[in-house]
Chain A
Amino acid sequence: EAGVVQSPRYKIIEKKQPVAFWCNPISGHNTLYWYRQNLGQGPELLIRYENEEAVDDSQLPKDRFSAERLKGVDSTLKIQPAELGDSAVYLCASSLWQDNSGANVLTFGAGSRLTVL
Protein backbone atom coordinates (compact mmCIF):
# COMPACT_ATOMS: atom_id res chain seq x y z
CA GLU A 1 0.00 0.00 0.00
CA ALA A 2 1.38 3.39 -0.99
CA GLY A 3 1.68 5.86 1.83
CA VAL A 4 0.92 9.56 1.75
CA VAL A 5 2.71 11.00 -1.27
CA GLN A 6 3.93 14.60 -1.34
CA SER A 7 5.72 16.66 -3.95
CA PRO A 8 8.03 18.36 -4.39
CA ARG A 9 10.35 17.16 -1.62
CA TYR A 10 12.40 20.32 -1.79
CA LYS A 11 11.71 23.80 -3.13
CA ILE A 12 13.88 26.91 -3.09
CA ILE A 13 12.31 30.18 -4.17
CA GLU A 14 12.89 33.88 -3.79
CA LYS A 15 10.58 35.90 -1.60
CA LYS A 16 7.40 37.21 -3.23
CA GLN A 17 7.31 34.21 -5.58
CA PRO A 18 4.41 31.73 -5.52
CA VAL A 19 4.80 28.07 -4.56
CA ALA A 20 2.48 25.06 -4.50
CA PHE A 21 2.66 21.71 -2.75
CA TRP A 22 0.72 18.60 -3.68
CA CYS A 23 -0.46 15.73 -1.52
CA ASN A 24 -2.05 12.40 -2.39
CA PRO A 25 -3.42 10.69 0.74
CA ILE A 26 -3.73 6.99 1.41
CA SER A 27 -6.51 5.51 -0.68
CA GLY A 28 -9.81 5.59 1.18
CA HIS A 29 -8.69 8.08 3.82
CA ASN A 30 -11.36 10.74 3.99
CA THR A 31 -9.55 13.12 6.34
CA LEU A 32 -6.56 15.11 5.08
CA TYR A 33 -4.36 17.49 7.05
CA TRP A 34 -1.74 20.07 6.17
CA TYR A 35 0.80 20.79 8.91
CA ARG A 36 3.74 23.20 8.98
CA GLN A 37 6.90 22.34 10.90
CA ASN A 38 9.38 25.07 11.68
CA LEU A 39 12.96 24.15 12.47
CA GLY A 40 13.32 22.63 15.91
CA GLN A 41 9.59 22.60 16.62
CA GLY A 42 6.69 20.20 16.39
CA PRO A 43 4.24 20.31 13.49
CA GLU A 44 1.33 22.76 13.68
CA LEU A 45 -1.98 22.25 11.93
CA LEU A 46 -2.78 24.59 9.06
CA ILE A 47 -5.97 23.04 7.70
CA ARG A 48 -8.04 19.86 7.98
CA TYR A 49 -10.38 18.44 5.34
CA GLU A 50 -13.19 15.97 5.74
CA ASN A 51 -13.62 14.76 2.16
CA GLU A 52 -13.70 18.01 0.14
CA GLU A 53 -14.83 20.24 3.00
CA ALA A 54 -12.34 22.33 4.99
CA VAL A 55 -13.59 21.78 8.56
CA ASP A 56 -10.76 23.54 10.40
CA ASP A 57 -8.73 26.29 8.72
CA SER A 58 -8.42 28.55 11.74
CA GLN A 59 -4.61 28.42 11.67
CA LEU A 60 -4.24 29.02 7.94
CA PRO A 61 -2.89 32.53 7.15
CA LYS A 62 -5.56 33.32 4.62
CA ASP A 63 -3.97 36.46 3.25
CA ARG A 64 -1.31 34.43 1.44
CA PHE A 65 -2.12 30.76 1.94
CA SER A 66 -4.82 28.79 0.15
CA ALA A 67 -5.67 25.12 -0.09
CA GLU A 68 -8.06 22.98 -2.03
CA ARG A 69 -9.23 19.39 -2.17
CA LEU A 70 -11.70 19.59 -5.02
CA LYS A 71 -12.63 15.92 -5.45
CA GLY A 72 -12.03 14.87 -1.89
CA VAL A 73 -8.86 12.97 -2.77
CA ASP A 74 -5.62 14.81 -3.47
CA SER A 75 -4.94 18.31 -2.21
CA THR A 76 -2.86 21.37 -3.07
CA LEU A 77 -1.47 23.97 -0.67
CA LYS A 78 -0.42 27.28 -2.20
CA ILE A 79 1.52 30.26 -0.88
CA GLN A 80 1.41 33.51 -2.79
CA PRO A 81 3.48 35.54 -2.30
CA ALA A 82 6.02 33.69 -0.17
CA GLU A 83 7.82 35.46 2.66
CA LEU A 84 11.10 34.64 4.37
CA GLY A 85 9.23 33.37 7.44
CA ASP A 86 7.44 30.74 5.37
CA SER A 87 10.59 28.63 5.22
CA ALA A 88 9.56 25.36 6.85
CA VAL A 89 8.60 21.78 6.13
CA TYR A 90 5.02 21.37 4.96
CA LEU A 91 3.62 18.01 6.00
CA CYS A 92 0.52 16.31 4.70
CA ALA A 93 -1.24 13.59 6.67
CA SER A 94 -4.33 11.49 6.20
CA SER A 95 -6.47 9.36 8.46
CA LEU A 96 -9.41 6.99 8.58
CA TRP A 97 -11.43 6.51 11.70
CA GLN A 98 -10.84 3.04 13.14
CA ASP A 99 -14.42 1.96 13.91
CA ASN A 100 -13.56 -0.72 16.44
CA SER A 101 -11.51 1.45 18.74
CA GLY A 102 -12.67 4.91 17.75
CA ALA A 103 -9.07 5.84 17.02
CA ASN A 104 -8.06 8.51 14.56
CA VAL A 105 -4.55 7.47 13.56
CA LEU A 106 -2.68 9.88 11.30
CA THR A 107 -0.18 8.79 8.67
CA PHE A 108 2.24 11.47 7.49
CA GLY A 109 3.94 12.01 4.17
CA ALA A 110 7.67 12.71 3.84
CA GLY A 111 7.06 16.47 3.70
CA SER A 112 7.98 19.32 1.37
CA ARG A 113 10.89 21.43 2.56
CA LEU A 114 10.53 25.08 1.50
CA THR A 115 13.38 27.57 1.58
CA VAL A 116 12.55 31.19 0.84
CA LEU A 117 15.55 33.39 0.00
Chain B
Amino acid sequence: GIQVEQSPPDLILQEGANSTLRCNFSDSVNNLQWFHQNPWGQLINLFYIPSGTKQNGRLSATTVATERYSLLYISSSQTTDSGVYFCAVEINTDKLIFGTGTRLQVFP
Protein backbone atom coordinates (compact mmCIF):
# COMPACT_ATOMS: atom_id res chain seq x y z
CA GLY B 1 0.00 0.00 0.00
CA ILE B 2 0.89 3.65 -0.15
CA GLN B 3 3.57 4.89 2.25
CA VAL B 4 3.40 8.31 3.85
CA GLU B 5 6.54 9.49 5.60
CA GLN B 6 7.00 12.73 7.48
CA SER B 7 10.13 14.50 8.60
CA PRO B 8 11.48 15.47 10.96
CA PRO B 9 9.85 13.18 13.53
CA ASP B 10 10.49 15.70 16.31
CA LEU B 11 11.11 19.42 16.27
CA ILE B 12 11.87 21.77 19.14
CA LEU B 13 11.68 25.50 18.54
CA GLN B 14 11.78 28.74 20.44
CA GLU B 15 8.91 31.14 20.00
CA GLY B 16 9.32 33.26 16.90
CA ALA B 17 11.28 30.70 14.89
CA ASN B 18 10.22 29.43 11.47
CA SER B 19 10.01 25.78 10.46
CA THR B 20 9.33 23.50 7.51
CA LEU B 21 7.67 20.11 7.84
CA ARG B 22 7.86 17.62 4.99
CA CYS B 23 5.55 14.83 3.81
CA ASN B 24 6.64 12.29 1.20
CA PHE B 25 4.21 9.83 -0.33
CA SER B 26 4.93 6.83 -2.48
CA ASP B 27 2.08 6.91 -5.02
CA SER B 28 -0.28 9.25 -6.83
CA VAL B 29 -3.01 10.67 -4.64
CA ASN B 30 -6.15 12.67 -5.29
CA ASN B 31 -6.28 14.36 -1.91
CA LEU B 32 -3.78 15.59 0.64
CA GLN B 33 -4.59 17.21 3.94
CA TRP B 34 -2.51 18.61 6.78
CA PHE B 35 -3.81 18.27 10.33
CA HIS B 36 -2.70 19.62 13.69
CA GLN B 37 -3.37 17.43 16.72
CA ASN B 38 -3.24 19.59 19.81
CA PRO B 39 -1.99 18.34 23.19
CA TRP B 40 -5.58 17.42 24.11
CA GLY B 41 -5.85 15.10 21.12
CA GLN B 42 -8.14 17.16 18.91
CA LEU B 43 -7.34 16.86 15.19
CA ILE B 44 -7.82 20.13 13.35
CA ASN B 45 -7.80 20.33 9.57
CA LEU B 46 -5.26 22.93 8.43
CA PHE B 47 -5.21 22.58 4.66
CA TYR B 48 -6.82 20.59 1.90
CA ILE B 49 -4.04 20.79 -0.69
CA PRO B 50 -3.72 18.07 -3.35
CA SER B 51 -1.57 20.48 -5.39
CA GLY B 52 -0.35 24.05 -5.42
CA THR B 53 0.15 26.49 -2.57
CA LYS B 54 -2.19 27.84 0.09
CA GLN B 55 -1.71 30.25 2.96
CA ASN B 56 -3.65 30.81 6.14
CA GLY B 57 -2.13 33.37 8.48
CA ARG B 58 1.25 32.16 9.70
CA LEU B 59 0.81 28.79 8.04
CA SER B 60 1.26 27.90 4.42
CA ALA B 61 1.49 24.65 2.49
CA THR B 62 2.79 23.57 -0.88
CA THR B 63 2.19 20.26 -2.61
CA VAL B 64 4.16 19.15 -5.66
CA ALA B 65 2.07 16.20 -6.73
CA THR B 66 4.34 15.20 -9.63
CA GLU B 67 7.25 14.80 -7.20
CA ARG B 68 5.08 13.28 -4.46
CA TYR B 69 5.78 15.60 -1.59
CA SER B 70 4.17 18.34 0.41
CA LEU B 71 5.62 21.00 2.72
CA LEU B 72 4.02 22.80 5.65
CA TYR B 73 5.58 26.10 6.66
CA ILE B 74 5.09 27.61 10.09
CA SER B 75 6.35 31.16 10.52
CA SER B 76 6.84 33.06 13.76
CA SER B 77 5.92 29.99 15.78
CA GLN B 78 3.92 30.33 19.01
CA THR B 79 3.54 28.00 21.98
CA THR B 80 0.00 27.24 20.80
CA ASP B 81 1.51 25.67 17.67
CA SER B 82 2.78 22.78 19.80
CA GLY B 83 1.37 19.35 19.07
CA VAL B 84 1.65 16.76 16.33
CA TYR B 85 1.31 17.63 12.66
CA PHE B 86 -0.03 14.93 10.38
CA CYS B 87 -0.06 14.72 6.64
CA ALA B 88 -2.83 12.48 5.27
CA VAL B 89 -3.33 11.36 1.70
CA GLU B 90 -6.35 9.94 -0.01
CA ILE B 91 -6.38 7.41 -2.78
CA ASN B 92 -9.34 6.67 -5.02
CA THR B 93 -11.24 4.74 -2.39
CA ASP B 94 -11.75 7.79 -0.16
CA LYS B 95 -9.51 6.33 2.50
CA LEU B 96 -7.36 8.90 4.27
CA ILE B 97 -3.98 7.38 5.11
CA PHE B 98 -2.07 9.25 7.77
CA GLY B 99 1.65 9.75 7.93
CA THR B 100 3.91 9.14 10.88
CA GLY B 101 3.57 12.69 12.20
CA THR B 102 5.95 15.44 13.30
CA ARG B 103 5.88 16.31 16.98
CA LEU B 104 6.48 20.04 17.46
CA GLN B 105 7.31 21.68 20.77
CA VAL B 106 7.52 25.45 20.92
CA PHE B 107 9.05 26.97 24.04
CA PRO B 108 8.68 30.60 25.17
Contact = CB atoms under 8 A, between A and B. Distances in A.
Contact of B45 (A56, A89, A107, A110): A107
Contacts of B33: 105-106
Nearest to B98: A42
A91 interface: yes
Main DSSP-derived SS at the A contact region: strand
Interface residues on B, range: 20 to 34
Contacts, number: 49
A43 interface: yes
Residue among A31, A91, A93, A106 facing the most chain B CB atoms (10 A cut-off) = A106
Given A48-B94, A56-B94, A107-B45, A42 B31 contact: no
A105 B94 contact: no
B94 A108 contact: no
Interface residues of A, number: 22
Interface in B57-105: 86, 88, 90, 93-101
17 contacts: A31-B94, A41-B101, A43-B43, A44-B98, A45-B97, A48-B95, A89-B41, A91-B43, A93-B43, A101-B48, A104-B90, A106-B33, A106-B45, A107-B45, A108-B44, A108-B45, A111-B42
